[in-house]
Chain A
């Protein structure tokens, strides 16, 4: 969190984390397509020719002034593919809150777990832990046939009982609820610690 007292700006960094193809970029694309132009900046995507995120996506959103302060939210995604581990670590620098976008398909369960462990590992290097850090889970792709039940996903992935949301990011379902929840988590976290 970065506070510029002169401009009354409060900057927060939110990172969308998750396995490859789970819908992290799609979340940002939906937010970008729905927000009023005055409240959002450009969506920048560093992609390969095949449209896979190679480094990150980025956009900044605002909500106007609150008690004279101007909160700005910097949203990032990480590349999900396993071999971009270093890039993921780099994007987490200075992170305030995380959205873990899980893929609901049963055959992606191992990838979800592996990425969650990778996240925990990267957070530890910055002396954070998943147990104490503000984060939420989005179980994405709920519309796909054969999607794993929420019960099973909860048992396997949500071991710290963080807020979770069902999502169909391509249609926008659950996208804003997820973002709102993670922002709430971050703000509450700051309050609790003052």
Chain B
């Protein structure tokens, strides 16, 4: 699985290595080609965008990821209220021109597929299902971990960050 560390206070630190990122991006590219989706996003359940494919230039994908994550979180609370013990696995938003298909990838990640109404939902479902299997496999594969990840934040880093914040917030 993707490298996850639990800190003493209970916080979760998730680290994606370069190899995993490469595979994820490849899977998204394939999915975009096969489904002709307008945009595909892969993000983590806290709302952080990890990778994107398709025509995303005019789309604020950072915000889209944050909204989609909240969408997931809200519907899983809804699931509890209506007596569904598991979380809802997929969410579908139907529009006049575009539809959005959201599906979870394991417990910690999800996929957003934005597509034109001319593309059939069945096609999206089939290819997305396959993509999710590939994404899960990529997240499971830790052979690309280098161990350097642990040194990301040292005391030097926090001093420099403090200075950068001072500059930014002047």
Are B161 and A66 in contact, CB atoms less than 8 angstroms apart?
yes
Known contacts being A66-B161, A187-B157, A194-B150, is A42 close to B60, with CB within 8 Å? yes
A-B contact count (CB 8 A): 153
Does chain A have a CB within 8 A of B1?
no
Q: How near does chain B come to A54, taking the closest CB pair, in angstroms?
A: 11
Question: For residues 139 through 193 of chain A, which have their beta carbon under 8 Å from a beta carbon of chain B?
Answer: 176, 179-180, 183-184, 187-191, 193
Interface residue stretch chosen among B67-75, B93-101, B135-143: B67-75
Does chain B have a CB within 8 A of A106?
no
CB neighbours (8 Å) of A187 from chain B are 153, 157-158, 161
Question: For residues 1 through 26 of chain A, which have their beta carbon under 8 Å from a beta carbon of chain B?
Answer: 1-7, 10-11, 13
Question: For residues 40 through 98 of chain B, which have their beta carbon under 8 Å from a beta carbon of chain A?
Answer: 44-48, 50, 60, 62-63, 66-67, 69-70, 73-74, 77
Are B158 and A3 in contact, CB atoms less than 8 angstroms apart?
no
Interface SS majority for chain A = mixed
Are A190 and B153 in contact, CB atoms less than 8 angstroms apart?
yes
Are B18 and A5 in contact, CB atoms less than 8 angstroms apart?
yes
Known contacts being A67-B157, A86-B77, is A3 close to B48, with CB within 8 Å? no
Chain B count of residues within 8 A CB distance of the other chain: 50
Are A66 and B160 in contact, CB atoms less than 8 angstroms apart?
yes
CB neighbours (8 Å) of B44 from chain A are 2, 94
Known contacts being A66-B161, A183-B161, is A93 close to B16, with CB within 8 Å? no
Partner of B17, one of A5, A63, A91, A134: A5
Closest to A34 in B: B169
Chain A, 26-65, contact with B by CB distance < 8 Å: what is the 0/1 string?
Answer: 0000000011100101101000000000011010110110
CB neighbours (8 Å) of A10 from chain B are 152-153
Does chain B have a CB within 8 A of A69?
yes
CB neighbours (8 Å) of A87 from chain B are 74
Does chain A have a CB within 8 A of B162?
yes
Are B160 and A35 in contact, CB atoms less than 8 angstroms apart?
no
Are B12 and A94 in contact, CB atoms less than 8 angstroms apart?
yes
Q: How far is the CA of A96 from the CA of B12 in the complex (A)?
A: 8
CB neighbours (8 Å) of B50 from chain A are 2, 4
Closest to B78 in A: A86
Does chain B have a CB within 8 A of A89?
yes
- Which 10 A-B pairs give the minimum distances between C-beta atoms? A94-B46, A6-B21, A90-B73, A176-B169, A127-B10, A132-B9, A63-B164, A6-B18, A128-B10, A193-B7
Which residues of A pack against B, CB within 8 Å? 1-7, 10-11, 13, 34-36, 39, 41-42, 44, 55-56, 58, 60-61, 63-64, 66-67, 69, 71-72, 74, 76, 86-87, 89-91, 93-96, 126-129, 132-134, 176, 179-180, 183-184, 187-191, 193-194
Known: A56-B70, A93-B69. 5 other contacts (CB 8 A): A2-B15, A2-B50, A66-B161, A132-B10, A193-B8
Which residues of B pack against A, CB within 8 Å? 7-18, 20-22, 44-48, 50, 60, 62-63, 66-67, 69-70, 73-74, 77, 146, 149-150, 152-158, 160-162, 164-169
Give me 5 A-to-B residue pairs in the complex whose CB atoms sit less than 8 angstroms apart, sorted by A's number. Answer: A6-B18, A44-B63, A58-B66, A71-B161, A187-B158
